[in-house]
Amino acid sequence: MTVLENIWPLSIPMAAIIVAYFLPVRYLRILNGFVIVCLLGSLFLPLWHLFHPVDALAYWFDITATVFGAFALWFSGPYIEQESIWHPWDSRHLKHYYVALYVFVGSLMAMALLANYLLLWVALEAATLSSVYLVQSSRTRTALEAAWRYLMVTETGGLAGLLGTVLIVLGTGRNLGAWALTPPRGHIPLDAPMVFTGIFLAAIGYGAKAGLAPFHTWLPDAHSEAPAPVSALLSGVKLAGAVLILDRLFTLSSFAVPGFWPHDLLLLLGILSLVIAASFVAFQQDLKRLWAYSSVEHIGLIALGLGFGGIGVLGALLHVWTHGINKTLLFYNAGTVRAYHHGLSSLPATSGLLESTPYTGGLLALGATSIVGLPPFAPFWSEWLILMGGIASGHIILTIAAILMLLAIFGGITLKMPRWLMTPGETRKAAIKEPWSLILPSMVLGVLVVVGGLALPGLVPHMFHQAAAILHYKTSS
């Protein structure tokens, strides 16, 4: 199997970057449609042995990155058309947005498909730099501030992550240029101090990229200021991708240090993220900031599942997918609300969404009901698996603490949402007609929220279990 067979779908976004740069702006939406078809088509190529992802986990995350990348391209058309009305976007600005979006989608796919740890770091850097550009694309003061903080915090962390990656790979006796992510077989020279230092630096670096507390400070601002398709990709794909790379590195390092050590670091970051989300979620005045803090919660849950091991890993991988669907739906509709109610400013006075914009309000209600973990929606099952993983691995107190935090977040979201969705008193809300081009992608996501969360792992159960098996820890003790 050649390297090209592992990664060739990356040629789709790469070609799109070049074509988009030279194509007149009026044809960009046609190009978008063509790229969406090619991206989604690439997911079926393993059926005919035309594309061989390096392992099941790579394929699982490639599906996530590709599907949500395609949604971002679809939703960007109508959404950016609306945004360019509030801000005078010239054709150059519009073109730069699409080029940066293609780079972002391509780098997210690269985070799934590349099989070299240094190249994975580079892919994560490319995702960060392109998304920093996208976050500030509205060019307002608040967007600039958010992008600056995002750049400073995550790049400082990213450079620590580079050293962590190098130390772990060297300390576990691997070749830095190797095209493989799994630990080498047979006797390997190990350097425990080097791996210990590497684990610490990687946790800071990739933790900052993933928005895990206490490195989450950039996340609420960046998510709330970015255009809605970018917020959704950041929340649903990039954060999870950074955690999965970190966990791959920890799995590698578990041969050199006692296995519980990287486990515990993930558990610590995970529970801290839940505490931060529980503390702040109820006080958010802006819909997008609310979902940003919810992202801190869910990335913390994914870290907890990976840290618990066993069935928790299965739950964490399922949660990557279910959280991605729900958060994409929620950010798209929060973006639509922002577009049609208050322009780019905050949303404290918005209310009566179910009355004024029934489709957007209804889809928001559906997404919110699902994301808080109510049955029968898919996030309930993935969270259930994660928590069962905690009990199965003997982390009873930590699991109880996580449940309490989830209840607090549930309370916070259910306290806030009715204020946006309902109309207080007798006041009638004027109807706002949002275009079908904005509603349609959200409706497809709504269908996915209802049936797609569990359908995908149900369709490919072997791949799902193999992906989870890759992240099982082996201890040296």
- Burial group, residue 472, by CB count within 10 angstroms (0-12, 13-18, 19+): exposed
Segment interacting with other proteins (CB under 8 A) among 10-18, 85-93, 135-143, 229-237: 135-143
Which of 362, 236, 228 has the alpha carbon at shortest distance from 294? Answer: 236
Q: Which stretch binds other proteins (CB under 8 A): 160-168, 224-232, 367-375, 410-418?
A: 160-168
Closest CA to 79 of 151, 139, 140, 137: 137
For other proteins, the binding residue among 33, 193, 348, 358 (CB under 8 A) is: 193
218 forms part of the interface with other proteins (CB under 8 A): yes
Among 147, 239, 311, 368, binds other proteins (CB under 8 A): 147
Stretch that binds other proteins, among 20-28, 213-221, 377-385, 400-408 (CB under 8 A): 213-221
Which member of 60, 133, 206, 381 binds other proteins (CB under 8 A)? 133
Residue number, 221 or 383, with CB nearest to other proteins: 221
Percentages helix, strand, coil for the chain, rounded to the nearest 5?
A: 75, 0, 25
Q: Measured between alpha carbons, how far apart are the two ends of the chain, in Å?
A: 35
Three-state DSSP state, 466: helix
- Please report whether residue 230 would count as binding other proteins according to CB under 8 A: no
Q: Which member of 24, 88, 177, 425 binds other proteins (CB under 8 A)?
A: 177
User: How many CB atoms neighbour CB 374 within 10 A?
Assistant: 13
Give the nearer residue to other proteins in terms of CB position, either 258 or 418: 258
**Burial of 394: CB neighbours in 10 Å, binned 0-12, 13-18, 19+:** exposed
Within its chain, how far is the Cα of 466 from the centroid? Answer: 21
Give the one residue of 105, 129, 316, 467 binding other proteins; rule: CB under 8 A.
Answer: 129
Confirm or reject binding of residue 23 to other proteins (CB under 8 A): no
Residues contacting residue 302 through CB under 8 Å, at least 6 positions apart = 240, 243, 270, 316, 319, 320, 323, 386
| Residue 402 burial by Cβ neighbours in a 10 Å radius (0-12, 13-18, 19+) | buried
CB of 121 to other proteins, least distance (A): 8
Residue 137 lies near other proteins (rule: CB under 8 A): no
Q: For other proteins, how many residues bind (rule: CB under 8 A)? A: 39
Residue type, 338: R
- CB 255, min distance to other proteins, A: 18
User: Smaller CB distance to other proteins: residue 167 or 306?
Assistant: 167
Q: Residue 163 interacts with other proteins (CB under 8 A)?
A: yes
Residues at the interface with other proteins (CB under 8 A):
116, 118-119, 121-122, 125-126, 129, 132-133, 136, 139, 141, 144-145, 147-149, 151-153, 155-156, 159-160, 162-163, 166-167, 170, 176-177, 191, 193-194, 197, 215, 217-218
